[in-house]
A and B are shown apart, each in its own frame.
Chain A
Amino acid sequence: MLGKLTLSAIPLDQPVPLVAGAVVALIVLGVIAWVVIAGHLPYLWREWITSVDHKRIGAMYCILALVMLIRGFSDAILMRSQHAVAYKAGGYLPPEHYDQIFSAHGVIMIFFGAMPFMIGLMNFAVPLQLGVRDVAFPTLNSVSFWLTASGALLVNVSLVVGEFARTGWWPAPPLSEVTYSPGVGVDYYLWAIQISGVGTLLSGVNLVTTILKMRAPGMSYLRMPMFCWTALASNLLIIAAFPILTATLAMLILDRYLGFHFFTDSHGGNSMMFMNLFWAWGHPEVYILALPAYGVFSEVISTFSGKPLFAYRSMVMATMAIFILSFMVWLHHFFTMGPGGDVNGVFAITSMIIAVPTGVKIFDWLFTMYGGRVRLTTAMLWSLGFMVTFVVGGATGVLLAIPPADFVLHNSMFLVAHFHNVMVSAVLFGAFAGYTYWFPKAFGFRLDEWWGKAAFWFGITGFVIVFGCFYWLGLLGMTRRMQHYDVADWRPWILISAFGVVVMFVGLVCQVVQLVVSIRRRDSLRDVTGDPWDGRSLEWATASPPPVFNFAALPEVHGEEAYWAIKSRAREQMRLREEPAYEPIEMPLNSPTGFICAFFSTLIGFAMIWYIWWLAAAGFLGAFVTFVVFAWRDTVEYEIPASEVAKVNRANRSTRLEALHGAGQRRAA
């Protein structure tokens, strides 16, 4: 009846995961209880859970990402503290737990931290920047989000029911085959990633269609903000790369569940094929994450330098070059498996070529600041921190792309430092820059600058300490994924890196405090005009938070930097654009389809992990019925009357006009 699931799956004999799981469960139950008792449930259900509004879904993606980033960071704390005490000793985490922790850390940070953060920012900002009302498929968007959340939930369930993978964040066969990993850990990995992977793919389809087919009148490709370009490249990569991951993991599932021989190294199976297929997805994945972050930096640096992005077309070219090149480098992940000089040489060169467009981007951001009027806000600090630290990550990447260097650095702490330098500098700093930059647009008030800057300085200092040590440890020959070690000269650097994690933790606390402080002081941080940063693209042309329909009338675009042009004209003429002729607007109705689908997919995933076949079948049936019910509904849209649209727009216009006159008087004085 319950497959492999018995009471012994719950680790009653192990205090660490049990306590951790209990604390998480208590927090979750507490929040749910508070929501229910305080009567917020109907509001949450109506306005958030069933919402198909791209802004709400984007915000939920970012909230999920923030929670999971904290979860992943606690894994990092566990690993650093284990290393701090595991010199010539076993430490406090036995290998079977330590192995789960580093696997979970990677999986959570990449799939449930970085990915949702970037997708969330794209979801939120892209339709606004394009000057349209929503993404191409609003309900599908909700399905995508909830599938991602479903995957995240399964990973967290593994904390208390069963185990997580003990294979690292990429489950390389033969270790991940059922012979060598008979537990449910790898199955948790596989189903969580498959489910969230479907969500990611659908979100990629959605955003590509949005960018290619839905733009405000006059918004030709070369008038799109840079963030839309990077979002386009990133989502095209999702469409081209995620199906490879789905297929690869499906093969591993077949190997594990039905005794197929794809990667078994017996009966003709070939484990090398997994490496090729996995990294054919894995390397583009790096750019799926990094490209939107580059887009955020482009927006932030240009806005806070008070200048257009330097060499916009060159940047577009660089973005698309990275998009194409990212598919030609996967083999550098296994230079050390003996592919031979020619193959290694070719892939070394293709890998290095990616550094060219990336370098161009760095220089173009540099010249965006040149001749500008730079405002050192939190978002700008994150961007500057990125530029200063990321060049090191890029340079070590080129270093690792040189096969002879890789022969001594592969799998070392140097490699760990390199990819954290790329992921943290680009993706995490980009996420925080975007979070600070668009927060007032999403919620109508700015985030506190003092706490934001504190979070930045602690964050970047801790980051430099930790990964500076890691680089050096790599040169000292330390390899990754060791649960304990007995080499004396590693010890001091490991202890310093543990201190660095403490500093990063302070940064994280500042980040949380910033949010709390900002919510409490929201009235003084209020963004009344909708344009708190003197922005240049269309998202700043509407109120903060934007009305559900985003724009009362779709803006007409006559050049690059659409909103900057509108604003400049308003400043010259000291009056706003003429009021549009208001028309009723039809918007898609909210739908619980996404949430219900994710509920059933969680059931399917859990049932497949534990071999509860009837439950899996029931889940499939439920999901199908949900879709049919969705497809059967008669009313799919509701109408917002023209008078309502006019009211909302006039309110925003009056505050903007006030601000315009205020600025005019200041200039005159």
Chain B
Amino acid sequence: MSGAASPASVTVLRGDPYHLGHSRDGHGESRATGRGTGGPSPKRIIVAYGFWIFILSDIVMFASFFASYAVLQGGVSDGPTGPEIFDLSRIAIETALLLLSSFTCGMASLALSARRMLLFQTAMAVTFCLGAGFVALEAMEFYDLIQRNAGPSRSAFLSSFFTLVGCHGLHVSIGLLWLLTMMAQVLAKGFRSDIVRRTLCFALFWHALDIVWVGVFSVVYLMGSIT
């Protein structure tokens, strides 16, 4: 209960609880409690919360692509249908790579909070390799399809398939760029609190992409192969 706070914390609130980046080095946290009555939340909370909201909006965008895929799934025209083009074994490897990368990304977050540089950089590097493997496999899939005259302009089904899966792939690629940037930043600047916050946002982003992939995997590949 914030109402039953200790006298000491009450004094803090009477002062200036806003603490926009208040601390010795200018990147620190506020001590305010932030439950609506305690004043603004600490920066760590604000940043993560804001990024969560951004991820939600991103998921709405994916939802639009999912919806269009659902509508156009039957619009195969004279092109191939889903079961004719999906190579489930490749998709299984892709899924494994991505899920595994989420695990190593989690390891990186742990290393981050333990401020262990070597472990952090290693875990991030492994995450990068797994993510890059995923993107490479997906690019190969797309390349094969276009070679087999099953590119996105063949039918509405393929248009929506390429867009949905490609949008996820694009997100992963941007995530890879971000990942490299964070590795470089942590290496150059150390575990400064603003960089740590940014890295945690990256982790949120990466895990969110995993969740979206689970949707893509189930809706596009699994359900698509059944019909």
Contacts and interface: CB of A to CB of B under 8 A. Distances in A.
Chains A, B in direct contact (C-beta < 8 Å): yes
Given A208-B53, A217-B37, A218-B37, A270 B194 contact: no
B156 A261 contact: yes
Interface stretch (A107-115, A155-163, A239-247): A239-247
Interface stretch (A42-50, A251-259, A474-482): A251-259
Interface in B32-59: 32, 34, 36-41, 45-47, 49-50, 53-54, 56-58
Nearest to A631: B185
Counting chain B CB atoms within 10 Å of each CB, which of A240, A247, A266 scores highest? Answer: A247
Given A214-B40, A254-B152, A267-B77, A554 B16 contact: yes
A318 interface: no
B61 A205 contact: no
Contacts of B22: 586
Given A239-B53, A268-B75, A132 B159 contact: no
Interface stretch (B64-72, B100-108, B120-128): B64-72
A132 B17 CA distance: 10
Nearest to A587: B20
Contact of A243 (B17, B36, B61, B77): B61
Q: For the complex, would chain B's binding face be called helix, strand, loop or mixed by DSSP majority?
A: helix
A208 B39 CA distance: 16
A133 interface: yes
A644 interface: no
Contacts of B39: 215-218, 554
Contacts of B45: 213
B163 interface: yes
A337 interface: no
Interface size class on chain A is 35 or more
B160 interface: yes
Interface in B132-190: 152-157, 159-160, 162-163, 177, 181, 185, 188-189
A143 interface: no
Contacts of A254: 152, 159, 163
Contacts of A269: 72, 75, 156, 159
B90 interface: no
Given A216-B39, A247-B61, A267-B155, A205 B54 contact: yes
A57 interface: no
Interface string A219-247: 11100000000000000000111111011
B2 to A, nearest CB: 10
Interface in A580-598: 581, 583, 585-588
Given A261-B153, A586-B22, A273 B71 contact: yes
Given A206-B50, A240-B57, A586 B21 contact: yes
A87 B14 CA distance: 71
B18 interface: yes
A217 B50 contact: no
A209 B34 CA distance: 13
Q: Lowest 5 A-B CB distances belong to which pairs?
A: A268-B75, A268-B156, A247-B64, A243-B61, A259-B153
Given A215-B39, A554-B17, 5 more contacts: A134-B20, A219-B36, A242-B57, A268-B157, A556-B14
16 contacts: A132-B18, A133-B20, A202-B54, A205-B53, A213-B34, A217-B32, A243-B58, A243-B64, A247-B65, A254-B163, A258-B153, A259-B152, A261-B155, A268-B157, A269-B72, A586-B21
